[in-house]
Chains A and B, each alone.
Chain A
Amino acid sequence: MEFNTITESLEKINSNKISIVELNDIFINRIKKNKNLNAFIYFDEENISQQIKKIQSSKNNFKLKGIPLAIKDLFCTKNMPTTAGSKILQNFQPSYESHVSQKLLDQGSIFLGKANCDEFAMGSATNTSYYGNTINPISPRGSQLVPGGSSGGSAAAVAANLCLGATGTDTGGSIRQPASFCGVVGIKPTYGLCSRWGIIAFASSLDQAGVFANNIADTAILLREIAGYDNKDSTSANREIPNYFENLNQDMSGKVVGVPKEYILPDIPEDISKIWEQAIKSLERGGVKVKNISLPHTKYALPAYYIIAPAEASSNLARYDGVRYGFRSEEGTSLDEMYELTRSEGFGKEVKRRVLIGTYVLSAGYYEAYYIKAQKVRKLISNDFNEAFKECDFILTPTAPSPAFPLGDKEDDPIKMYLNDIFTVPASLAGIPGISIPFGKSQNGLPLGIQLLSKHFDEQLVLNAGLYLEKNNV
């Protein structure tokens, strides 16, 4: 029996064709065989066994009964340590469960472990984690490719069938880009659809919880379970959540897809242009009208993001000071010294860079020129999408400007790394939903992803379009 999808596995669990223990054992064994991928920061069999016992003895009607998931180590979990991929939270054991992961537990899912991620979600290759880098499971023999980031551990775990689904967070592309690199589906919902309570904050106005899965159907199931209003999060949207799975419909006839000309970059690899073309043609065959649209401020999205996100991060990470939890340097003899040494030792290079940038752009004399300017550009980018959606229902672009690249590449120059997010960041700034689905392969046989964007709270549409492309992938 194959257990590659949530839908199949749920059917077999609910019809007792397989027990929860047996199902999870398959994945546990795979995890043990694939330690070299370093997809998990925390993995403990006894812990899993306890979880299963709890589900087995419960009479609740679970929607995700026994389904093995990986949880990005940015979500605070009550029964597993939470590190955010950082030394500064080594051995931090939250006494609380994030709202999103609690919802998954409430539906009877099994957490196989905490997935590795870039430190504090800052990165695009899962190579800044204190707990080592993660290897992309699709790496050809003899090579080590990155899985993308920051949710690289989650994407890799799904791609390597170490779990049936995973949570991630997406601030500038941290779900979509690794989904593309690893050849799985990844969705970043509308800002506010999912609660941020209990998720370690990176950039509060951009962070969103999302999911990875092997196909659209599974993605839809998971998304439905994590979405929903939370009164503990003041930015949470109070909206009814559709049943994304039941409403899945691959009939796209009559819909209009926008193709933004500003995403056609001169140095895009040919194989990426090709899959973009193929996706457009496939949609046309499905009755979709193609419209060339303009998102004029696209090229300013990355610079704006790299002002706003570090600024918010510099403030959000101020609490990591060695006083109440986490790592504390033994050396400091005064409070300030303790702060400086703790944070210097506890944070990695990329985090330190971004905190410094963020501090600078908020500082006196620079706030107007940088931060305010970036927020104004953000308004323009948001307006671009509002205007575009008057002419089309959804937008189609490549997810990333390259397939997965070798570990060690682009590490000498931070900006080279930042450019990985070039196609994903604009949607983050506008807060609109975005999904990446695997579509075609690069010249070297590596997965490539196609990105679908829609209006706020129109997740159903990108799921439907994704389903269509999944089924019409030629």
Chain B
Amino acid sequence: MKIDKNTTLKIAKLCRIKVRDEEIEELSSQLSSILDWVEKLNEVNTDNIEPLNNVSIATLPLRKDKENLQDQSKEVLSNAPEKLENYFAVPKVVE
């Protein structure tokens, strides 16, 4: 199997999603199938082809350096699960 249990756990850690023990096997199997399936791309010769990152026709628009002085703290904190005064509060980071 392309994605074994350890790899699944490693990826899950990277993207901060807890995978329960009961889920690991089915998940690893599904991920493996999907990756096997997308490997079909190896049939295509892509020598000398540039990756296409964006299909937009725009050129990067530039913004003028004018600051918005509005204090949006109330708005920005309005949906916070936990806050104290004007800070977001989270469980402590173990440093």
Contacts and interface: CB of A to CB of B under 8 A. Distances in A.
B52 A379 contact: yes
B58 A355 contact: no
B91 A338 contact: yes
Interface stretch (A55-63, A167-175, A341-349): A341-349
Contacts of B42: 373
Nearest to A93: B79
A335 B79 contact: no
Interface in A341-397: 341, 343-344, 347, 352-353, 355-360, 363, 370, 372-380, 382
B56 A192 contact: yes
Contacts, number: 172
Contact of B51 (A303, A332, A378): A378
A421 to B, nearest CB: 13
Nearest to A92: B79
Contacts of B91: 332-335, 337-338
A322 B81 contact: yes
A95 interface: yes
B67 interface: no
B44 A95 contact: no
B61 A234 contact: yes
Contact of B15 (A304, A334, A356): A356
Interface string B1-43: 0010001100111111111100000010011011101111111
A303 B57 contact: no
Contact of A324 (B19, B39, B43, B79): B79
B69 interface: no
Chain B: interface size category: 35 or more
A8 B35 CA distance: 50
A414 B30 contact: yes
Given A192-B57, A332-B91, A357 B52 contact: no
A336 B41 contact: no
Interface string A303-325: 11011000000100010011111
A300 interface: yes
A297 interface: yes
A340 interface: yes
B16 A339 contact: yes
A334 to B, nearest CB: 5
Interface in B74-95: 75-82, 88, 90-94
A12 interface: no
A260 B18 CA distance: 44
Given A297-B44, A338-B90, A379-B49, A357 B35 contact: yes
Contact of A355 (B17, B54, B79, B88): B17
Please indicate which of the listed interface residues B41, B50, B54, B55 has the most CB atoms of chain A within 10 Å of its own CB. Answer: B55
A326 interface: yes
Given A336-B16, A370-B38, A359 B11 contact: yes
Interface string A192-204: 1000000000000
Given A335-B91, A363-B11, A363-B14, A306 B38 contact: yes
Nearest to A374: B41
A314 to B, nearest CB: 6
Nearest to B16: A339
18 contacts: A235-B54, A237-B56, A306-B34, A318-B15, A324-B77, A324-B88, A339-B16, A340-B12, A340-B16, A340-B17, A340-B18, A353-B34, A375-B52, A379-B51, A380-B49, A382-B52, A414-B33, A431-B55
Interface of A: 92-93, 95, 191-192, 205, 231, 234-238, 297, 299-300, 303-304, 306-307, 314, 318, 321-328, 332-341, 343-344, 347, 352-353, 355-360, 363, 370, 372-380, 382, 413-415, 429-431, 456
Interface of B: 3, 7-8, 11-20, 27, 30-31, 33-35, 37-44, 46, 49-58, 60-61, 63, 75-82, 88, 90-94
